[in-house]
Amino acid sequence: MADSRTPVGLAVPTRKPAPTTVAEERKDTTHTPSQRYLSTRGDSYGLSFEEVVLKGLASDGGLFIPEEVPSLPRDWESKWQNLSFSDLAFEILSLYISPSEIPPADLKEIIDRSYSTFRAPETTPLITLNEKDNLYLLELFHGPTFAFKDVALQFLGNLFEYFLVRRNKGKTGRDRHHLTVVGATSGDTGSAAIYGLRGKKDISVFILHPQGRVSPIQEAQMTTVLDANVHNLAVEGSFDDCQDIVKALFADPKINETLKLGAVNSINWARILAQTTYYFHAYFTLSKSPAYKADHKVRFVVPTGNFGDILAGYFAKRMGLPSEKLVVATNENDILDRFWKSGHYEKKAVHGKVAEGGIPADGAKAHEDGVKETLSPAMDILVSSNFERLLWFLAYEFAAEAGMDDEWNKKQAGQEVEAWLKQLKTKGGFEVHADILKSAKRDFESERISDVQTLETIKKFYSSPSKNGTSNGNASKVGYILDPHSAIGVAASLRSIQRTPGVHHISLATAHPAKFANAVDLALKDEEGFSFNTVLPKEFIGLEQKEKRVTLVPKGAGWEGVRKIVEDEVEAELKGSR
């Protein structure tokens, strides 16, 4: 019998033997447990880093996570605090990647090459936004496409290339491993993936975006790349529709086998891993600054949609980075905020704060599919894919309290995640046990920021000059121009600061303001001396007028329609007719 602590939907403890391959593969002592991976839905164990990077999504539909989160080495602070971004990334990533898979010199070269494309010498600079309140902004948009995704996708592109060159050595024609990358984007992943993969041998990339629901610059960044291996698909629908199509393609064994699908979304573990570096880097930058008070805690505040960016912070925290809390900042698409307020993870707002107070009249347009069209379109997401990874850890810790062994706890966690995800699909949501919500609250808080509050925040930081906020190209005399996503993080930080004065707040700035002219203009058009041209990087000038290539995917085409397009285009590429 399950005891009273058994979570809703959790099966009675079964002592199923682990898959035989696990025992066999674990004999391989060149990998530590943190360098072996399992699926959040329980069916795959013992996979290598290369396998999870190339597969993207597990065959049971789950996401890959390390079998164990590595602890930080002794003296990590003194050893790592003065490292460059690339050297720090090398130390962190080495904990998760066995040298028998990627020799250290090769890993170092891949990392160095990935960050050599960034415009800022610090790669991800930390600036002081408001010294009095200990509020700092971590600028993550100095890569080729001006969004935080570049940090992971420059690396992932080079990693794919490295694995493929190795696999294809001495092979020709159809014997070569040809990777077909399929990704869904609400604007930023798409361009970052395209810039990371354009022109790479043995890779075709298909990016699905919701037609008309990405910003004009984002759309132009993607569709003006005319390399033969890049294919943009504009889907009539929402980002969630795009994400569902991608997941359905991964669930199809036939296309998986014939086309060897690869993922660039944050379902790919390498995306999360690469993003952990900047949490450590920001912590070191802050702790070396004169404003740092060693007895005060640190919080990271993260504008959140698909839950990938903040999940990287969660891994950093689990490894031992001293961050007191991670603050989830959502826009009006607030499934995550409602979860932290109520313990219900539901596509529609029926429980918790929103239902009690009535749905706030914030002004964002709601589509029939339930997604609201906000001023922060990259976060217009109904269901956050990576939340599944956190759910696994929550279920694992809950199971661990029953006092069984680790293998049992992992199996239970997989079964529980599977049950929750099934309920999400069939009933539109699920509720977690009160103790699970309690442990989610131990590491996280959440805030929901409306469009109105987003605009107010952009205005506030433009009108009040920041201490030294100059690194996105804005003159300090006119203050700082936040993009709408970063403004959501800053608005949430200000609320968190009110509750916890003195705590250092590092708010993540996820995109350059020039990518979101609409919101920035709305907020600042009446400000004296404001001109959008002052924030426009030279790379964006004339971009919208360039030649474009994009294929429309009409409503109703479904994932089978997309499969057909992908199959035909890859065939044309392989025949060399593209």
Ligand X SMILES: Cc1ncc(COP(=O)(O)O)c(C=O)c1O
Ligand Y SMILES: N[C@@H](CCOP(=O)(O)O)C(=O)O
Toward ligand Y, which CB reaches closer, 323 or 384? 384
Kindly state the number of chain residues that form the binding site for ligand Y, as judged by CB under 6 A: 13
Give Cβ neighbours of residue 318 (< 8 Å, ≥ 6 apart). 69, 393
Toward ligand Y, which CB reaches closer, 193 or 327? 193
Side-chain half-sphere CA neighbours of 123 within 13 A: 29
Binding of ligand Y at residue 266 (CB under 6 A)? yes
Toward ligand X, which CB reaches closer, 204 or 243? 243
Where are the extended beta strands (E) located within 244-371? 261-263, 298-303, 325-330, 344-346, 365-366
Residue from 98, 124, 238, 266 touching ligand X (CB under 6 A): that is 266
Q: Alpha-carbon distance 490 to 506, whole Å?
A: 9
307 binds, among ligand X, ligand Y, none (CB under 5 to 8 A by kind): ligand X
* Closest C-alpha among 346, 417, 425 to residue 386: 417
| H or E, element range at 179 | strand 179-184
Q: How far apart are CB 196 and ligand Y at their closest, in Å?
A: 12
Toward ligand X, which CB reaches closer, 308 or 479? 308
Toward ligand X, which CB reaches closer, 31 or 485? 485
* Closest C-alpha among 140, 335, 329 to residue 240: 335
Strands 365-366 and 372-373: antiparallel
- Using alpha carbons, list the distances in angstroms from residue 176 to 54, 56, 172, 382, 567: 15, 19, 6, 38, 17
Q: Does residue 555 carry a catalytic annotation?
A: no
Catalytic choice (16, 79, 108, 149) = 149
- Using alpha carbons, list the distances in angstroms from residue 29 to 26, 33, 103, 173: 7, 9, 16, 36
Q: How far apart are CB 234 and ligand X at their closest, in Å?
A: 18
Q: Which stretch binds ligand X (CB under 6 A): 196-204, 302-310, 392-400, 492-500?
A: 302-310
Phi, psi of 227 (to 5 degrees): -55, 145
Kindly state the number of chain residues that form the binding site for ligand X, as judged by CB under 6 A: 15
* Closest C-alpha among 193, 196, 198 to residue 208: 193
Residue from 145, 186, 232, 342 touching ligand Y (CB under 6 A): that is 186
Residue from 378, 520, 524, 570 touching ligand X (CB under 6 A): that is 378
Binding of ligand X at residue 196 (CB under 6 A)? no
Side-chain half-sphere CA neighbours of 540 within 13 A: 20
Binding of ligand Y at residue 185 (CB under 6 A)? yes
Q: Alpha-carbon distance 428 to 97, whole Å?
A: 37
Binding mask 310-329 for ligand X (x = CB under 6 A): --------------------
Return contacts of 137-140, CB within 8 angstroms, 24+ apart: 137/469, 137/480, 137/486, 137/490, 137/506, 137/507, 137/508, 137/509, 138/278, 138/282, 138/506, 138/507, 138/508, 138/509, 139/471, 139/472, 139/509, 140/278, 140/508, 140/509, 140/510
Q: Which stretch binds ligand Y (CB under 6 A): 20-28, 62-70, 187-195, 562-570?
A: 187-195
Residue from 265, 276, 333, 486 touching ligand Y (CB under 6 A): that is 265
Identify any residues that bridge with 136 across adjacent strands, giving them in sequence order.
Answer: 128, 506
Binding of ligand X at residue 243 (CB under 6 A)? no
Binding of ligand Y at residue 330 (CB under 6 A)? no
511 binds, among ligand Y, ligand X, none (CB under 5 to 8 A by kind): ligand X
Q: Is 56 left (phi over 0), alpha (psi -120 to 50) or beta?
A: left
Identify any residues that bridge with 544 across adjacent strands, giving them in sequence order.
Answer: none
Binding mask 466-485 for ligand X (x = CB under 6 A): -------------------x
Residue from 62, 125, 196, 308 touching ligand X (CB under 6 A): that is 308
Q: Alpha-carbon distance 56 to 43, whole Å?
A: 15
Give Cβ neighbours of residue 307 (< 8 Å, ≥ 6 apart). 266, 328, 336, 384, 385, 386, 387, 389, 390
Q: How far apart are CB 408 and ligand X at their closest, in Å?
A: 32
Residue from 306, 412, 415, 466 touching ligand Y (CB under 6 A): that is 306
Residue from 225, 259, 364, 379 touching ligand X (CB under 6 A): that is 379
Toward ligand Y, which CB reaches closer, 249 or 494? 249
Toward ligand Y, which CB reaches closer, 56 or 125? 56
Angle between helices 149-167 and 269-287 (to 10 degrees): 130
| H or E, element range at 564 | helix 558-574
Binding of ligand X at residue 210 (CB under 6 A)? no
285 binds, among ligand X, ligand Y, none (CB under 5 to 8 A by kind): none
Range 374-393, binding ligand Y (CB under 6 A): 378, 385
Binding of ligand Y at residue 187 (CB under 6 A)? yes
Q: Locate tokens 């490894």: which residue?
A: 319
Identify any residues that bridge with 317 across adjacent strands, giving them in sequence order.
Answer: none
Contact 88, 80 (CB under 8 A): yes
What DSSP line would sit under 290-304, residue for residue?
A: TT--TTS-EEEEEE-
Q: Which stretch binds ligand Y (CB under 6 A): 7-15, 16-24, 113-121, 301-309?
A: 301-309
Q: Which stretch binds ligand Y (CB under 6 A): 180-188, 252-260, 415-423, 426-434?
A: 180-188
Q: How far apart are CB 381 and ligand Y at their closest, in Å?
A: 6
Q: How far apart are CB 312 and ligand X at their closest, in Å?
A: 8
Q: How far apart are CB 146 and ligand X at their closest, in Å?
A: 9
Binding of ligand X at residue 304 (CB under 6 A)? yes
352 binds, among ligand Y, ligand X, none (CB under 5 to 8 A by kind): none
Catalytic site residues? 149
Name the site residues for ligand Y (rule: CB under 6 A): 185-190, 265-266, 305-306, 308, 378, 385
Name the site residues for ligand X (rule: CB under 6 A): 147, 188, 266, 303-309, 378-379, 485, 510-511
